[in-house]
Structure 1
Amino acid sequence: MAGHRIFTTSVGSVYPHYVAKAGKKGRTKAEVDEVIRWLTGYEQAQLEARIADGTDFETFFAGAPALNPARHAVKGVICGIRVEEMEPGLMQEIRYLDKLVDELARGKAMEKVLRAA
C-alpha cells in the first residue's frame, strides 16, 4: 500500500519551514523544538540528529520515544481537515505537529500550545 508523499519526506527538509513560519511571528527555533519534543518525547540531541540525518516522517514518528497522550487534545483545522476527526495514524500525527506549529506561529501562549493544565 502506497502512503502519502509526506511520509517519505525528510523531517529535516520541512523543519526549516516550521522555524521560518514561527519566526515570522517572533517565535524562536527553541520554541519550535520544544513543541516537537513535547509531541514526540525526543530529547534535544535526538531531535537534532533526526533532523540532520534525513529521517523521514514515517521513521521519525515510528521511532518517537513517547508520543504525548495529551496530543489528542489538539483540535482544529489544518489543511482544511479537522485533526481530531482524522483516522488515527501517521497522517494524524503529522497534522498534530502542523497544528502545534501553526498555533505557536499565531502567537498562542506556550502553555496553551503544550496543553498545560
Structure 2
Amino acid sequence: MSSGKRPRDGYVYVFWHDKGPSLHTKIGYSRRHPCVPEEGFKATRHSHLGFSLEAFGFGGLKCWSTSYLDDARSVEEAAHLALSDKRRKDVGTAKEIFAVPSDEAIEILKGLVRAETY
C-alpha cells in the first residue's frame, strides 16, 4: 500500500489442537479466510505447525473464524488485550498464543464482533 498503513479489513481466527498437550490457542488476523484454503494457494505460514503436530498424533489444526470484518485488526487487538494475562510467553514469536480453551477465545471474539456491529 502506498500510504504505508497496514490493512485493517479481513478475518480474526482461532487455531487450536484438540489433542494438544496443553492450552495453545492462537488468535490472529488474516486478509485471506484462514479456514478455507484458496485455489492455487498451497500453504499458509501455519501449515508447518499443523503438519508437525499431526505427525506427533495431535491431529490437524482446528480453525474458527469471524466473518469478513471491515476493522478486523481492532477486534484482534481487543481480544489480545482481554486475554493479555493468559498470553503464553513460552511459545511463538508473535505473542498470539494464549492459555485459554478454544471455546473461551471464540466466545470472546463473538462478543467483540457484536459490540463492533452495534
TM class by shorter-chain length? 0.3 to 0.5
Higher strand fraction: Structure 1 or Structure 2? 2
Higher helix fraction: Structure 1 or Structure 2? 1
TM-score, normalised by the number of residues in structure 1: 0.34
**Higher alpha-carbon Rg:** 2
TM-score, normalised by the number of residues in structure 2: 0.33
